[in-house]
Amino acid sequence: MTDHVQEQEMEIEALEAILMDEFKEIHSGESGLSTSNRCFQITLSPQDDDADQSTTRPVQLALIFSHTEKYPDEPPLLNVKSIRGIHTSDLKVLKEKLEQEASENLGMAMIYTLVTTAKEWLSERYGQDADADNAEEEESTKDEVIVPHGEPVTVDTFLAWRERFEAELALERAKLMPESALTAPKEKKLTGRQWFESGRATVKGGAPVTEGSDEEDEEDIDFDDDDFEDDEEDMLEHYLAEKSDSSSHSSKRTA
């Protein structure tokens, strides 16, 4: 023979340990149930159990129950009340759902199962509405963001800017070279190595190496580290080739 009273007491102790502040005993006159037995209320909401308790919850539900004499071999007495934001029509739907669930779980403690079912229903019914409200709030916040004025930077606009910048940089560098160095024929150009091997170059601070009457025509040329960068070497070779060509003509006139 089943000891229904002991089984009911064990279930109440388990619910108190699991639900803690959400579980409390209430007077039978507050329950809305037709009984003088002990009545209990469980407060439920669609939020997860680890949600911030200080946050104001949009909807809350009170699940009220009382054990009957032969529970769990017969269903408990059930009632649902809105604490905040739940429509009366939804309460009726939920109560029918819980009564159906109870009839399917006869013979075993079922209150926590009913609590889980009620929470899932709240999340499906009201959790989506809360998400929609949050989405609308986020959308309105986006609309209030001030969009900065000006042309947006894209790959195309960046490449166009870089071409203009490199052209302007090349023009500035060209202004630093003699005009003759930029117009010298390619066949007259000497490489840097050829220029040094020809004996026309001078070392900064040293005596110039000259050929014949070229001594007075030659100029000291200082070489810094930057002179050997790839993008300036062509200009230097143009300049040196022009100087070499000018010196050759001068030697022929002297002869």
Question: Per residue in 45-104, pLDDT tens?
Answer: 886 545 455 455 678 999 999 999 999 999 999 999 999 999 999 999 999 999 999 999
pLDDT for the residue numbered 115: 95
Domain annotation covers residue 24: yes
The mean of the pLDDT values for the chain is: 75
Identify the CATH number of the domain in which residue 88 sits. 3.10.110.10
Structurally, the chain folds into a number of domains equal to 1
Confirm whether 34 is domain-assigned.
Answer: yes
State the pairing for strand pair 39-44/60-66.
antiparallel
> Buried b / exposed e across 12-41, counting CB within 10 Å, b at 16+?
beebeeebeebbeeeeeeebebeeeeebbb
Confidence at residue 158, expressed as pLDDT on a 0 to 100 scale: 78
Q: Helix axis angle, 155-175 relative to 230-254, nearest 10°?
A: 20
User: Does residue 36 fall inside a structural domain?
Assistant: yes
18 pLDDT higher than 60: yes
The whole-number pLDDT of residue 171 equals 76
Asked whether residue 76 is domain-assigned, the answer is yes
Specify if 69 maps to a domain: yes
| pTM of the model as a whole | 0.50
Burial (CB < 10 A; 0-12, 13-18, 19+), residue 70, is exposed
Let me know the angle formed at the C-alpha of 113 by 112 and 114, rounded to the nearest 5 degrees.
Answer: 90
In sequence order, what are the residues at sequence separation of 6 or more whose Cβ sits closer than 8 angstroms to the Cβ of residue 137? none
Question: Is 9 among the domain residues?
Answer: yes
Whether 151 is in a domain gets the answer no
Residue 163 belongs to a domain:
no
Q: Band the pLDDT of 6: cuts 50, 70, 90.
A: very high
Range of the domain at 65: 4-49+57-126
Q: Who wins on pLDDT, 43 or 125? A: 43
